[in-house]
Chains A and B, each alone.
Chain A
Amino acid sequence: MSDLSDMSDREGLAAEYVLGTLPLVERLQAERLIASDAAFAALVADWQTRLAPLNEAYDDQAPSPDLLNRIEVRLFPQPAKASPRWRMPFFGALAAALAAFVLVAYWPTSPHRLITATLVGEDQPLVVAARFDPDAGQLTFTRAQGPGAGAGKDYELWVIPAGQAAVSLGVLGDSDLTVQLASLPPGTTLAVTLEQTGGSPTGVAQGPLLVATVIGG
Chain B
Amino acid sequence: MSDPDPIADLIQKVAVADRAAFRALYSSASGKLFAIAVRILQDRTEAEDAVQEVFTRVWLNARRFDPAKARGMTWLIAVARNHAIDRLRARPAPTDGDDAMANLRDPTPGAEAQLTAKGEARRIGDCFSTLEPAKADAIKGAYLNGLSYEDLSARHDVPLNTMRSWLRRGLLKLKECLEA
Given A45-B69, A61-B35, verify A19-B171 contact (CB < 8 Å).
yes
Question: Is there a chain B Cβ closer than 8 Å to A179's Cβ?
Answer: no
Contact partners of B152 in chain A: CB under 8 A: 21
Asked if residues B120 and A52 are in contact (CB atoms below 8 Å), the reply is yes
Asked if residues B89 and A52 are in contact (CB atoms below 8 Å), the reply is no
Asked if residues B124 and A54 are in contact (CB atoms below 8 Å), the reply is yes
Contact partners of A4 in chain B: CB under 8 A: 165, 168-169
Interface residues of A in 190-217 (CB under 8 A from B): 194, 206-210
Identify B89's interface contact among A23, A64, A72, A123, CB under 8 A: A23
Report, nearest first, the 9 A-B pairs whose CB atoms are least far apart.
Answer: A60-B31, A24-B89, A61-B35, A53-B124, A63-B34, A53-B120, A20-B85, A53-B121, A52-B74
Question: Is there a chain B Cβ closer than 8 Å to A100's Cβ?
Answer: yes
B interface residues (Cβ-Cβ under 8 A, vs A): 17, 19, 23, 26-27, 30-32, 34-36, 38-39, 47-48, 51-53, 55-57, 59-64, 69-71, 73-75, 77-78, 81-82, 85-86, 89-90, 111-112, 114-115, 117-121, 123-125, 139-140, 142-144, 146-150, 152, 164-165, 167-169, 171-176, 178
Query: How far in angstroms is the closest Cβ of chain A from B97?
Result: 21
Asked if residues B30 and A63 are in contact (CB atoms below 8 Å), the reply is yes
Contact partners of B111 in chain A: CB under 8 A: 57, 59
Given A19-B167, A100-B53, verify A57-B77 contact (CB < 8 Å).
no
Given A48-B74, A53-B120, A55-B77, verify A97-B90 contact (CB < 8 Å).
no
